[in-house]
Amino acid sequence: MKVMICSRRDMETLTVRGEFPQNTAVISFYDTPDKRLRSAHYTVPDYSRLKCRLYQAAVDDLDPNDLSDYGLTVESFFPEADDIAAFIYEVYRAGEDIICQCDYGDSISAGCAAAIKEHFTHDGISVFADYRLCPNQMIYNKIHDALEKYRRYESSEYYYCAKPEEIRSRMQQVPGFDEIADSLSFSDKAACIDAKDRLEQLLKEQGQLCTSWEDAMRGFAERRPCRFISLRMTHTEWISSGSESGPVIVRKSYTYAGEQINIQMRLFRIRQERRRHRDILRRDVQFGRCGLREFDLLGVMFWDADERQIAVTPLLMTNMV
């Protein structure tokens, strides 16, 4: 996704000349009605002629020291950030580019562009390093935080959660688990995402978490007590879509010391009468046919010597795409 910065004049020039780029969305910022220096002749930009995705927001170019003069706080400033984050992801999924536009094209729009670039390509510094620009840091932080929040909680509609009693049973022998057990919830997607993070942090502190398949193999060879694994699984192979009540078998192959090693797991797709258990939550029950290929996994592992593979019992899976 290419991210561009434009002033209002630049946008009007592109529009008048018919040079507006194809497959490009626009985030347009304009002054609020109560801005102290807003001209009586000021008008909101009209991009109705453009056949593109468009999000417009009224926001003033303020820094933290100005907020109290406008009756604002850092928390109440720019409440549109969450909606803009959702819009940016909509554009991203559509494979389109994006133009960030404000009146002068050097502050608010630059802050927005820097946030997008930092979030997706970790290149926000390139905007701050451009001497022609003066990115608004509050806009940057607001949009960047909103994008991170969106990716964490909203970017994927799919997730997997084993039965809470199974998760608690698996974690029971981990020192310190009793201290956080009562505060954990697995009631919905956001709760499961938070629970996964807290469990992984505890397991890291106790030295019981492997974060790569190489680390897992070394752990087995050294007979370390690491029983849990946390991985970003990509390009997985769906061996079986499962029967009505049977498991979905998912496999990922790696090469270790010249030998092909598989990580294999079994997932049980939801059944109508068990929907409330939320083993798997999604819009329909045909989980085994949905073709998900990437996800973040927290599971219990053991070495299957007969099959020469790492067998994993998934506890929590998030960011499934």
Please report, for the chain, the start and end positions of each structural domain, with discontinuous segments joined by +.
3-153, 158-320
Tell the CATH topology of 3-153: Protein-Tyrosine Phosphatase; Chain A (3.90.190)
Contact at 8 Å (CB) between 254 and 260? Answer: yes
Contact at 8 Å (CB) between 240 and 231? Answer: no
Instruction: Classify 265 as helix, strand or coil.
Output: strand
Contact at 8 Å (CB) between 230 and 298? Answer: yes
**What is the C-alpha separation between 244 and 138, in angstroms, rounded?**
51
- DSSP annotation of 20 reads P
pLDDT tens digit at each of 321 positions of the chain = 999 999 999 999 998 888 999 999 999 999 887 765 556 678 888 888 888 999 999 999 988 888 888 888 999 999 999 999 999 999 998 999 999 999 999 999 999 999 999 999 999 999 999 999 999 999 999 999 999 999 888 877 778 888 899 999 999 999 999 999 999 999 888 889 999 999 999 999 999 999 988 888 888 888 776 689 998 888 777 666 545 555 667 778 888 878 888 888 776 543 333 333 344 443 333 343 445 667 889 999 988 888 888 888 899 988 877
pLDDT score recorded for residue 268: 58
**What is the C-alpha separation between 140 and 72, in angstroms, rounded?**
17
pLDDT score recorded for residue 95: 93
The amino acid that residue 125 corresponds to is I
Write down the pTM of the prediction: 0.67
Please name the residue that has the structure tokens 């509050």.
138
